[in-house]
Structure formats: C-alpha cells, structure tokens
Structure 1
Amino acid sequence: MSQPWSYRDGVNSDTSLSLIGFDVEATDGKIGSVDEESNAVGDSYLVVDTGFWIFGKKVVLPASTVTEVDPQNKKVFLARTKEEIKNAPEFDEATYTDPGYREQVGDYYGRDPNLP
C-alpha cells in the first residue's frame, strides 16, 4: 500500500458524494460514523467519531483503508479491525492536519497488518 492517502481503484469514485454521517464498519463491526472528510487528490481521509466505543475518541483513517462505500445504506467499510484502529496514533484536533502526524498515521496504516 504505497499511497495511504488515496482511495483504492473503484472505491469512492464519486467524490461529489459526501460521506459525512455514514456509519463506518471495521472488518469486525461498527466503529462509529464519519465526522469529516477530505477528497483532495493524494490527501484523502476520513475523520471518524468513535462515540462510546473508544470514549468519544476520533480517529483519522487514510482513504486506502476504505474497501467499499455503500451509498444506499450509508456505510463505509474498512480493511482494518477494531483493534488496529484503536491502536492507531492518537487523534489531536490541533495537529491532525500537520505533516508529521499525517506521516505517522500513513506509516501506521501503510504497513502490512500481517507483519509484526
């Protein structure tokens, strides 16, 4: 996964569709809903509000983690487990758009989840 901030081929090709408010499903269940999104080329991501699941925490998910968007049911499906998302770099409202933080998140999600 060399481009963590780009959608996979065939996923979310309709960038005019807002995903805000869509439910977000990890491979093992719902993790929250989309609070914010960016569809900038090479810099696409979702900010997901996890609600009570991680005590109101938000997480940044690079576009490459999305495997499917279901506009009819308003759901976004991810290629990551709840545990992987929970262990991602901490979200900080003040710094989540900074290059250093984005590099951390990109590195975290860009590595093969099957490797240690």
Structure 2
Amino acid sequence: MSGTEIWEFRTTAGHVSGTDLVGYHVEATDGHIGRIDRLSEEVGSAYLVVDTGPWIFGRRVLLPAGTVVQVDREGRKVHVDRSRDEIKGGPEFEPDRHGPDSALQDAYTGYYGPFYSGPFL
C-alpha cells in the first residue's frame, strides 16, 4: 500500500461525494465516539474531524477517510473500522491547522495506514 489509500473514501463505504456529513454520529467498532464537525473531500487528503464531546474531554480527532467503512445516510451515522482506544491513541489533532500538512499527514498515515483493511477499488 502506498499510504494514499487511507486518505480516500472506500468505494464500498457508500459515501457520495458532495454529501454533507457534518453532524452525523460516528461509530467505532466498539461504540459511539462523537459527531462529525468538519469534512474534507480533497483528493488525496480526505478526512473527517470528529468532536468527541465528553468522551475524551471535548477533544477533536481527525480520521482519514479510508477508516470509514459505511455511511448510513438514513440513520445519519458513519461507521469506522477502528476501536475507541485506537482512535483515542491517534495523533493529536491540531485545530489551528485547516487540514493535515505533509508532516502531519505522514503521522496519520503511519498510525492508521498499516491497519487499513480495504477494500479500495
């Protein structure tokens, strides 16, 4: 894997480009983690910013789009392929940046990329 796949929505996730996911609930493999606060669909750098609310003291987390396994538009939920602990242990999101620059993107790719479970078709 080149590492770029983690920054694109999986074709099997059901995400339709241009769909506003802000406000959708985000579900990890073992429970709710928060709501989408921001979405970027930039080619090669697509990601979600999730407001975790009280779960981890109001911290926001950035999740590369490749972690999304299912978008449930009817239920307004996004399911990701990581556990709550894996997300909590991810790289620190820096809200002053508008998106991951190359160094920060490398940190996220290094953390989330090795566990990417596809498919990316």
TM-score (norm. length: structure 1): 0.90
Cα distance in 2 for partners of 1:42, 1:90 equals 20
Relative to structure 1, the CA distance from residue 13 to residue 78 in structure 2 (aligned partners, 3 Å threshold; closer, same or farther) is closer
Residue 52 of structure 2 contacts residue 58 of structure 2 at CA under 8 Å; is this kept in 1?
A: yes
| Larger relative strand fraction | 1
Q: What secondary structure does 1:59 align onto? A: strand
1:53-110 Cα offsets, whole Å, 9 max, x none, are: 0000000000110000000010000000000000001111124532211110111000
Please list every run of 5 or more consecutive structure 1 residues that lacks an aligned counterpart in the other structure: none
Aligned to 2:92: 90
Q: What secondary structure does 1:37 align onto? A: strand
Residue from 17, 20, 32 that aligns with 1:18: 20
Cα distance in 1 for partners of 2:66, 2:55 equals 23
Do structure 1's residue 64 and structure 2's residue 72 form an aligned pair?
A: no
Cα distance in 1 for partners of 2:43, 2:8 equals 7
Q: How does 1:1-116 map to 2 (within 5 A)?
A: 2=3, 3-95=5-97, 96-112=99-115
TM-score (norm. length: structure 2): 0.87
Matched letter for residue 85 of structure 1 = I
Q: What secondary structure does 2:7 align onto? A: coil
9-18 vs 45-54, which deviates more?
Answer: 9-18
Provide runs of 4+ in structure 1 moved above 3 Å. none
